[in-house]
Amino acid sequence: MIAVLGLVVGVVVGLLVRPEVPAVVEPYLPIAVVAALDAVFGGLRAMLDGIFVDKVFVVSFLSNVVVAALIVFLGDKLGVGAQLSTGVVVVLGIRIFSNAAAIRRHVFRA
């Protein structure tokens, strides 16, 4: 419950405060957000499976974000930033979908 509240509060704060994102971070934010979403869906599924461990969640969340940003950074340096970030988004999207499917089976039994 508190975790859900955290998400809601984060969205509200982001909309209201309008924080300025440092220019350095800016290109990585969208990919980082997608990676974090992937981690969240994974965590949700793990919880439904009854194997949720908060430490694992934290580590996966952070490493997801960092690795995603790293890949984009590397792609930019190599001159294939656009393609690489597309690739990352595709892979993460697939994972999100499969996790969502597992969650759906748990929740709706279908």
Partner 1 sequence: MTNEQNPPGGRPGGALPPEAPQPVRGPAPADAPKEISGRQRLLAGLWPPRVSRAQLIVALLLFVLGLGLAIQVRSNSDNSALRGARQEDLVRILDELDNRTQRLEDEKQRLDDQRTELENSSDQAEEARKQTLEKERQLGILAGTVAAHGPGITLTIDDPTGAVEADMLLDTVQELRAAGAEAIEVNGVRVVANTYFSGDGGDIGVDGRRIKAPYEFEVIGKPQDLEPALNIPGGVVQTLEKEQATAGVTRSEDIVVDALRPAKEPDYARSSTQ
Site for partner 1 in 51-70 (CB under 8 A): 51-64, 67-68
89 binds partner 1 (CB under 8 A): no
Distance (Å, whole) CA 26 – CA 23: 5
84 binds partner 1 (CB under 8 A): no
Distance (Å, whole) CA 89 – CA 35: 8
Distance (Å, whole) CA 80 – CA 82: 6
Say how many C-beta atoms besides its own lie within 10 A of residue 69's C-beta.
18
Task: Give the shortest CB-64-to-partner 1 separation in angstroms.
Answer: 5
List the one residue from 11, 78, 83, 97 that touches partner 1 (CB under 8 A): 11
24 binds partner 1 (CB under 8 A): no
